[in-house]
Structure 1
């Protein structure tokens, strides 16, 4: 089962005079939150500048990826956009602030585009994926698509983007490879 809802996860931290400890991933805890996905690869990114936007990305079949995203240094606003053909919430999005201090994680299932913006300098983001990277299956939607309408919290200098992210297609010109599975995007709740 691959959960069709985006889920915000808040891991418990146990602290003492030395600092704190938490489980950043537990298959048992994930399954209790409805996430029954096998993760096969861990990725990590570093972004030097405030306002760095990465996204909106996805990977299509046969190597479609679900993601479990967390910020390990600094903070980001993280977004998931429903791009499942036939979904009543197609083109709608949810977002959550993820911080190293709070340890929040966002589960982004297959059928959703994912992106984030850094809220401070020198940010590191780590995420698990459910399939290996396959460049021929890589895809995306332009980050500032007016149809989607994400209100990105950007500094006065604007977004810092890769050349690839600057030329991604709009939602209107995009032919989604994902089908609606009967579960619409829901507002975020914590698991």
Structure 2
């Protein structure tokens, strides 16, 4: 009769030791995903606080028909916004009577409530005084939208997608390890 010894009892050891199948440990991927998602929400909030007040001002401004005069200091600016989809031509006259070139540096669209506006003309004051702005369609005056705020919020959105993916992968791995 032959007798074989039972396998040796394995003592719990440090993670990574051979023969150790410890299921404990911190779910670092899950924790990292959660931190990334929280950071992204903070960035989205900061970006929103930078851009929303300007959008609200444009959305709640009173529409102007024809032309209006606005006082600008040297280096200040304002924009003429028309309802989205409205083809409008706008112009501005400087305090000295000269024509002001359009200082728009790209298209911008703003939505607030049920209204959507697109920038039709931008005025940058080269001298202090009264500027006359006129458009062929009803318009509102307001500041441009903060590009920095839009970039911060967009970066937060991208980071949120990445964080959510890491969070889901971390959760799946943590659940699999627990079994």
Per the shorter chain, which TM-score range?
A: under 0.3
Considering fraction of residues, name the structure with more strand. 1
**Which structure carries more relative contact order (alpha carbon 8 Å, separation 6+)?**
2
Select the structure of larger CA radius of gyration: 2
